[in-house]
């Protein structure tokens, strides 16, 4: 398989905001981005799926809850269980927990405010389908923007996630939303499904990313997530 | 047409930022006797057919699967609303067994899961986080 033959689908739900950004990130690493629609049962044969950020269904009921019952989510759950790489960003992460593809849940930020900042993270697990291009314990800065990003789970679930290395991203410096154990992102047992609250797709192109020491808006720390997916697809082919 | 009422609350042991914000607003109005507020949800669901245990059980199952996320919330009660479909008599519902309830909520509340110390710690962590 060549890079451009790797097809990564990005699902658009009513209220998705970052679907175009995610598709752009996919193209920037050389893969093909395939737009998918929430109301369809057709994954169009894609090799990986991204559930983008936004406010699907206005966060009615619970963030991600109604989207997790969309027709396409039945196919996403099937694909995830077959080992297809699935990434949920922000609202997409909320959908993955609501669909029980990932453990735990996301609740309103403990301080009650929406937060938007460039957030420092540590990549704690570099063996997932979405993080294999990072060096071990890489520290990255990507934007975070959410109102309901507090990760919670029962004490048993938290300790089993810790023990099995399933915490993929952890907040550094500050805990921006009250997440237990500073958890910013987790994976499933197989390592093909990853969800995180911060937005890697907003840090993929110089001029549009977070500030770095070198230059304003030059941060591209989100790019390796998309490169990782491409690498795992090419390795599997 | 019978109406089934489903009540859902955030888990007692979790901080409820929404309730905390409301409590803060009430305190600013000088309602100093109000200690805390927790905010939950009430669903009023109209159903066809007889108001029997079967439909109540069906809605209770849906409440666990969809209306509430049991990772972060508890279903407090599932019961028929009063005949007018609006008001309901909780005492009567309980007396007639017109209720299915998740008692884990009461158990958690009785054990005093959110202590003052925990609240204070959370306050400290929040102010650190925002600093």
Measured distance CA(A187)–CA(A193) in Å, rounded: 6
Residue B94: is its pLDDT beyond 70?
no
Give the per-residue pLDDT at A99: 97
Measured distance CA(A141)–CA(A155) in Å, rounded: 28
Give the per-residue pLDDT at A222: 98
> In this structure, are residues A54 and A14 in contact, taking their beta carbons and an 8 Å threshold?
no
Find the distance separating the first CA and the last CA of chain A, reported in whole Å: 6
Q: Does A178 touch chain B (CB under 8 A)?
A: yes
Chain B interface disruption, residue of A94, A112, A151, most B CBs within 10 A: A112
Q: How many residues does chain B have?
A: 131
- Nearest by CB: B125 against A97, A105, A175: A175
Domain layout of chain A by residue ranges: 3-236
Residue of A98, A124, A148, A201 with catalytic role: A201
> Could you tell me the residue range of the domain that residue B83 belongs to?
3-130
Residues 39-98 of A with CB under 8 A from B: 61-62, 65, 69, 97-98
Query: Which regions in chain A score pLDDT beneath 50?
Result: none
Residue B105: is its pLDDT beyond 50?
no
What percent of chain B shows pLDDT beyond 90?
34
Q: Does B55 touch chain A (CB under 8 A)?
A: no
Q: Would the CB atoms of B125 and A110 count as touching at under 8 Å?
A: yes
Q: Which of A102, A172, A106, A110 is nearest to A137 (CA)?
A: A172
Inter-CA distances, B119 with A50, A158, B71, B116, B126, Å: 37, 21, 21, 5, 10
Q: Would the CB atoms of A65 and B66 count as touching at under 8 Å?
A: yes
Mean pLDDT in chain A? Answer: 96
Give the per-residue pLDDT at B51: 85
- Nearest by CB: B71 against A111, A112, A153: A153
In this prediction, residue B89 has a pLDDT band, given cuts at 50, 70 and 90, of: low
Q: Is A44 a catalytic residue?
A: no
Strands, E, within A45-160: which ranges? 48-51, 86-89, 105-107, 115-123, 139-146, 150-152
Domain A3-236 has CATH 3.40.50.880: yes
Across the strands, what pairs with B7?
A: B42, B77
Question: pLDDT (tens digit, 9 = 90+) per residue, B20-73?
Answer: 889 988 888 887 788 899 999 999 999 998 888 899 999 999 999 999 999 999
Question: pLDDT (tens digit, 9 = 90+) per residue, B112-125?
Answer: 444 444 445 545 54
Residue B101: is its pLDDT beyond 90?
no
> In this structure, are residues A193 and A102 in contact, taking their beta carbons and an 8 Å threshold?
yes
Residue with tokens 């720390």: A221
For residue B90, give the CATH number of its domain. Answer: 3.30.1280.10
**Count of structural domains within chain B:** 1
Residue B124 DSSP SS3: helix
The token duo for A52 is 């983008």
What ipTM describes this predicted complex?
0.85
In this prediction, residue B109 has a pLDDT band, given cuts at 50, 70 and 90, of: very low
């Amino acid at each position: 398989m060549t890079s451009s033959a790797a097809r990564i689908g990005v699902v658009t739900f009513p209220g998705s905001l970052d679907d175009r950004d995610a598709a752009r990130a996919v193209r920037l690493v050389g893969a093909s981005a395939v737009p998918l629609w929430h109301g369809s049962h057709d994954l169009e044969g894609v090799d990986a799926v991204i559930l983008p950020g936004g406010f699907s269904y206005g966060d009615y009921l619970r963030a991600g809850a109604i989207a997790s019952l969309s027709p396409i989510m039945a196919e996403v759950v099937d694909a995830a269980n077959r080992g297809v790489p699935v990434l949920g960003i922000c609202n997409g992460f909320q959908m993955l927990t609501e669909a029980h593809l990932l453990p735990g849940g996301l609740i309103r930020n403990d301080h009650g405010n929406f937060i938007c900042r460039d957030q420092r993270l540590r990549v704690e697990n570099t063996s997932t389908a979405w993080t294999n291009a990072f060096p071990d314990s890489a520290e990255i800065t990507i934007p975070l923007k959410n109102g309901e990003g507090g990760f919670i789970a029962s004490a048993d679930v938290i300790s089993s996630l810790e023990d099995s290395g399933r915490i993929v991203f952890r907040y550094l410096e500050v805990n921006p939303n009250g997440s237990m154990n500073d958890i910013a992102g987790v994976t499933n047992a197989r390592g093909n499904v990853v969800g995180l609250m911060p937005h890697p797709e907003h840090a993929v192109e110089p001029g549009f990313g977070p500030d770095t020491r070198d230059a304003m808006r030059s941060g591209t720390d989100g790019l390796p997530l998309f490169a990782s997916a491409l690498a795992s697809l090419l390795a599997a082919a | 047409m019978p109406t089934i009422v489903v009540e859902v609350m955030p888990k007692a042991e979790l901080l409820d930022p929404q309730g905390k914000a409301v409590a803060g607003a009430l305190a600013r109005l000088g309602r100093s006797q109000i200690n805390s507020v927790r905010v939950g949800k009430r669903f009023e669901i109209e159903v066809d057919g007889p108001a029997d245990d079967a439909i109540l059980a069906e809605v209770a199952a849906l409440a666990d699967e969809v209306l509430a996320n049991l990772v972060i919330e508890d279903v407090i009660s599932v019961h028929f609303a009063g005949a007018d479909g609006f008001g309901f008599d909780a005492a009567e519902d309980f007396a007639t067994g017109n209720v299915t309830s998740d008692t884990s909520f009461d158990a958690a509340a009785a054990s005093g899961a959110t202590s003052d110390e925990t609240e204070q710690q959370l306050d400290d962590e929040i102010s650190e986080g925002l600093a």
